[in-house]
Amino acid sequence: MSPETDRTGPARLARSAGATVFGTDAAGYHAARIGYPAELYEAIAQRGGTVAELLEIGPGTGLATEALLERFSPWRYVAVEVDKGMAEHLRARISNPALQVVTGSFIDAPVGGRFDLAACAAAFHWLPPEPALARLRGLLRSGGILALWWNSYRQAGIGDPFAEAVIPLLADIELPPSEGPTGHYSLDVDLHRQALGTAGFVGFEPLLFRRERTLTPVEVRRLYATYSYVRVLPPERRDALLDDIQALAARFGQKVPNVTLTALYLATNP
């Protein structure tokens, strides 16, 4: 499912929305979102070897940044974040001499040098893919590794009854570039294989991780309140939607099922 070609569902949010929609409640975002599995970082390490210089696109509040710093201990870590509120939160939350947070659009950000690893967690769908991948080719050294990944919290057909039940509530909502009416584009392996191959990357490797947990109805509300397609709504409509989502979650009691799929795509700059 391509976010560029699937138009059977609701209208899409503009990619530019990702620059401002999250930073007004960075603390809420950080508290409600789940991080990424340890196996993901191990897979990157096995693929990439030594990482002395690391580039991260769209670090947000640093859910991946902390783990990448700990796993690879690079002497240079450049994190490019377009949302000023998120960038400020990240600077205040993580103190590491290797970390430089650059505020601005990745396509135009003042970043130089060559990197051993470029990582992007749950943010690449906010970028125009062709120029973003072209710039990544220019910033990665020969043999450098590209790692793109996402968490999908709302996926039909994978044994998550709440994900199935919530779909009708989102029928007339403008979804982000990463989502269709019933699924997340990160799960489309062929789409990402083609995009990375066309951009000139080699050694495409898709990986998928599954985690199961339960949330309370209040935690479900807090999670959905961080989603771009909820945050852009007018306050009255946003609150009404979150009320409906929390009421739906309450039908599951205090243990609302939540299956998180994490798709990781690895490729090499030749």
Query: In Å, how far are 18, 98, 256 from 172, measured between CA atoms?
Result: 20, 44, 24
Assess whether pLDDT exceeds 70 at residue 9.
no
Q: For the stretch 5-16, what's the b/e string if a residue is b when 16 or more beta carbons lie within 10 angstroms of its beta carbon?
A: ebeebbebbeee
Output the CA torsion 213→218→224→230 (10° steps). 170
pLDDT tens, position by position, 183-208: 799 999 999 999 999 999 999 999 99
Residue 151: CA atoms inside 13 Å, Cβ hemisphere, count?
16
Q: pLDDT, tens digit, for every residue of 46-89?
A: 997 899 999 999 999 999 999 999 999 999 999 999 999 999 99
**217-247 b/e with 16+ CB inside 10 Å = b?**
bebbbbbbbbbbbbbbeeeeebeebbeebbe
The gap from C-alpha 205 to its chain's centroid, in whole angstroms, comes to 18
Tokens representing 114? 């060559």
The token pair that represents 94 in the structure block: 């993580």
Domains of the chain as residue ranges with CATH: 15-153+183-213+260-268 (3.40.50.150)
Q: Does the structure show a pLDDT above 90 at 182?
A: no
